[in-house]
Amino acid sequence: MYAGYIFDLDGVICFTDQYHYQAWKKLADRLDIYFDEEINNRLRGVSRMDSLEIILERSCKVYTVEEKLAFAEEKNKIYKKLLRKMTPEDLPADVKTTLMELRKKGCKLAIGSSSKNTKMILERIGLNNFFDAVSDGTNIVNSKPDPEVFLKAAELIGENPKDCLIIEDAKAGIEGAFRGGFDSAGLGEANEHPRVNYKMKKITDLLSI
């Protein structure tokens, strides 16, 4: 058992992929840029501005920094509007069970997410005051695979990286955990990363690590 558990948000605690896709798709359509779910998969665990750059790879136009910032804000407004549909029922039962069991064991729990909407999402699903610390896109400069968001989370809960476990569903997150000196547990595509320490089929597998 680890002293601290640092969770990615989207794809681990809850699932907002559909909302990200819908928001980016709406922006891409307006800009007449081809965008599909395969391209969307490349955005997993990636910051908003880096995601935009991936989408603009297929654009015939070159945009200014100011225009790109406006596009990112446009996407975020669409996304935040979609997030208002979320409720505590969007917190999967197995995730809730796992979190409560770890809490009973006295483990420190934190969020390590590149999303700047992390706190809003946690509030929508009823976890706004649950975690001991939240490190997200509002307090970092570098997004995953840089380990900054995880290192800040560990610092906030007062634990060394070697005593914390990162729980991720994206390869970029597993790479970030490795670079930061953390052990990691993967779900989904994260299990394909050669540096992942534990491969999980479901979140409750965390309780047997």
Residue pLDDT, tens place only, 165-185 = 999 999 999 999 999 999 999
What are 110's strand-pairing partners?
6, 133
| Mean local confidence (pLDDT), 19-44 | 94
pLDDT tens track for 129-162: 999 999 999 999 998 999 999 999 999 999 999 9
CA-nearest of 53, 118, 62, 123 to 88 is 123
- Quick check: 25 pLDDT over 80? yes
- Quick check: 128 pLDDT over 90? yes
> If pLDDT is split at 50, 70 and 90, which confidence band does 8 have?
very high
Share of the chain above pLDDT 90, in %: 92
Per-residue burial over 24-42, b if 16 or more Cβ lie within 10 Å, else e, is: bbbbbeebebebeeebbee
> If pLDDT is split at 50, 70 and 90, which confidence band does 23 have?
very high
**In sequence order, what E strands does the chain have?**
4-7, 108-112, 133-135, 164-168, 183-186, 198-199
C-beta contacts of 158-164 below 8 A and 24+ residues apart: 158/108, 159/3, 159/4, 159/108, 163/2, 163/3, 163/4, 164/2, 164/3, 164/4, 164/5, 164/6
pLDDT tens track for 58-99: 999 999 999 999 999 999 999 999 999 999 999 999 999 999
Q: At what angle do helices 17-30 and 65-83 cross, to 10 degrees?
A: 140
What are the structure tokens assigned to 44, written together? 């997993």
Q: How far is CA 17 from the centre of its chain?
A: 10
The residue from 8, 136, 146, 169 that is catalytic is 8
Let me know if 8 is a catalytic residue. yes
Q: Which amino acid is at 52?
A: L
